[in-house]
């Protein structure tokens, strides 16, 4: 579905609503960036989180932003204001962080970069919410309590929407997506390393198609 607003900008909720999964992408080879993005888009996944876990990540973001306009490129593993600034300069349209600090939150607001902050405890949810963030990444999802934790949070944090990431697979994603406070999940299963290394882009597109077929709950 097309949830882009009329200004051409995206909100964190719109990023979450676009598909059942946001791929968590680790790129070690710049040459893989554009064909991977095209394979993901062909499979119905256009919100792409390229993590800042490799020295090549920012260049990969820049290439995708320039060469695959159908994709909405985001930067993951934002841990500092400098990360946020570099991501926006490279062309990122949204950001994802493994945790939350007010410095990172303020930097993203100043830059106009929609952010999905990472949380793993109730206190972190409250801190992010105090700063105006109501769409959050639950990370690491399985290690921090999985679907049971999100069910427990649905009471006190009834007005917060989550994207669980960390240990999520095609097999357990439906359990997360069935929860009313989960809009989408984050996962790396649709970007397997061996498929990227071998250039098997058709396999990645098929994994996307299988994932898009999962039912997701409206926010």
Q: What is the C-alpha to C-alpha distance for residues 121 and 111, in angstroms, rounded to an integer?
A: 27
Tokens representing residue 182 in the block: 């989960």
Give Cα 76 distance to the centre of its chain: 7
The proportion of the chain whose per-residue pLDDT surpasses 70, expressed as a percent, equals 94
**36 in a structural domain:** yes
Tokens representing residue 92 in the block: 């990122």
This prediction has a pTM of 0.93
pLDDT attached to residue 195:
97
pLDDT attached to residue 88:
97
| Catalytic, out of 49, 135, 161, 216 | 49
The four Cα atoms 148, 154, 157, 162 give a dihedral, to 10 degrees, of 70
**218 in a structural domain:** no
> For the chain, what is the domain count?
1
pLDDT attached to residue 38:
98
Give the angle 171-173-174 at the CA atoms, nearest 5°. 90
**3 in a structural domain:** no
**54 in a structural domain:** yes
CATH of the domain at 58: 3.20.20.70
Contacts of 213 (CB under 8 A, 6+ apart): none
Give me the count of residues in the chain. 219
pLDDT bucket at 5, cuts 50 / 70 / 90: very low
**178 in a structural domain:** yes
The proportion of the chain whose per-residue pLDDT surpasses 90, expressed as a percent, equals 93
pLDDT attached to residue 206:
96
pLDDT value at 141 more than 90:
yes
Containing structural domain, residue 109: 12-212
Q: What is the mean pLDDT of residues 168-187?
A: 96
- Can 137 be counted among the known catalytic residues? yes
pLDDT attached to residue 4:
42
70, 112, 154, 195 from 198: Cα distances, Å: 24, 37, 42, 5
Residue with tokens 């900008």: 9
**How many C-alpha atoms does 68 have within 13 Å on its Cβ side?**
25
Q: What is the C-alpha to C-alpha distance for residues 173 and 20, in angstroms, rounded to an integer?
A: 9
Q: What is the pLDDT of residues 13-63, one digit of tens each?
A: 999 999 999 999 999 999 999 999 999 999 999 999 999 999 999 999 999
pLDDT value at 217 more than 80:
no
Residue with tokens 């934790």: 149
**18 in a structural domain:** yes
| Catalytic, out of 62, 137, 161, 216 | 137
pLDDT attached to residue 8:
57
- Can 49 be counted among the known catalytic residues? yes
**98 in a structural domain:** yes
Q: What is the pLDDT of residues 72-91, one digit of tens each?
A: 999 999 999 999 999 999 99
**113 in a structural domain:** yes
pLDDT value at 9 more than 90:
no
pLDDT bucket at 216, cuts 50 / 70 / 90: low
Q: What is the C-alpha to C-alpha distance for residues 42 and 205, in angstroms, rounded to an integer?
A: 6
């Amino acid at each position: 579905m097309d949830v882009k607003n009329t200004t051409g900008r995206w909100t964190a909720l719109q990023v979450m609503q676009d598909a059942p999964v946001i791929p968590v992408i680790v790129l070690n080879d710049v040459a893989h960036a554009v064909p991977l993005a095209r394979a993901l888009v062909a499979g119905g996944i256009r919100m792409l989180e390229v993590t800042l876990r490799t020295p090549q990540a920012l260049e990969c973001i820049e290439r995708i932003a320039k060469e695959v306009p159908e994709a909405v490129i985001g930067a993951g593993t934002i841990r500092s204001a400098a990360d946020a600034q570099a991501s926006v300069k490279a062309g990122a349209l949204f950001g994802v962080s493994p945790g939350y600090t007010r410095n990172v939150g303020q930097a993203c607001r100043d830059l106009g970069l929609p952010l999905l902050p990472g949380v793993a405890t109730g206190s972190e949810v409250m801190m992010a919410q105090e700063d105006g963030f109501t769409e959050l990444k639950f990370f690491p999802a399985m290690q921090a309590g999985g679907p049971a934790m999100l069910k427990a949070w649905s009471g006190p944090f009834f007005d917060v929407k989550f994207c669980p990431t960390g240990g999520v697979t095609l097999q357990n994603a439906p359990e997360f997506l069935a929860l009313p406070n989960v809009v989408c999940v984050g996962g790396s299963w649709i970007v397997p390393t061996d498929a990227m290394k071998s250039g098997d882009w058709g396999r990645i597109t098929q994994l996307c198609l299988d994932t898009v077929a999962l039912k997701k709950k409206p926010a």
